[in-house]
Structure 1
């Protein structure tokens, strides 16, 4: 019996399959890093307002509050803290700013005196390096 040519059409090529596995692992690692960063912030006295906040202009990993300060946090996980700290591109900074504008417009009940954008770098061992006010520093 001959095999029809269409039989293997939906079977991913080895390269595509490997890419899917890497993507799934990166997604899982990112969620784990965000959870670690959220737990760290909570221990430091911050209240988490939103996690993985999606807007039409982009996503913000963590939105948190402490007193009259609202902080928008981007979490980056890489092999080393240095790699994670250095990977926030200018285009990502603009996306964060635009997404924050959307969130503030959608949540007029959030009262604040100051806003800040932070980066939380996470390495493979879940060590965390917190870069505060990252957009103004760059």
Structure 2
């Protein structure tokens, strides 16, 4: 039997690193697309005890909490956003706002950026 010569845990780590690289690339492209549409990125991969927010951006008087999904198809990307994930992002956003009072009076948006294939990122406002 011919194998790759790697132990199962090593293969798992390699796959995990590859997923992490793809996720960072997707978030970078999403941030670029948002910047080109006039947003200023306030935070990337904002982590809290309540959850993680991929991007936090502001444009004018609107703060957007953005979830980034990269999948092979739009249907797969849409299916990857679960009700539990939506609730977790909203809780994390609430905590972030409590820690950043300068933005509490802003309009809030819970947005999604889909990256599908080689297409330009698709930004959907208030989709979460």
| TM-score using structure 1 length | 0.82
Question: In 2, Cα distance between the equivalents of 1:18 and 1:76?
Answer: 24
- State the partner residue of 1:10: none
User: CA contact under 8 A between 1:60 and 1:72: conserved in structure 2?
Assistant: yes
Alignment correspondent of 1:30: 23
CA contact (8 A) 1:69 1:112 kept: no
How many residues are paired up? 124
Work out which of the two has the higher radius of gyration on C-alpha atoms and give 1 or 2.
1
**1:44-88 CA distance string (max 9 Å, x none):** 001111111111111101101111111100001112233113210
Counterpart for residue 55 of structure 1: 48
In 2, the alpha carbon distance for the partners of 1:113 and 1:104 equals: 10
Which sections of structure 2, spanning at least 5 residues, go unmatched? 1-5
Match of 2:71 in 1: 78
**Superposition RMSD in Å:** 1.8
Superposition misfits of 4+ residues, deviation over 6 angstroms: none
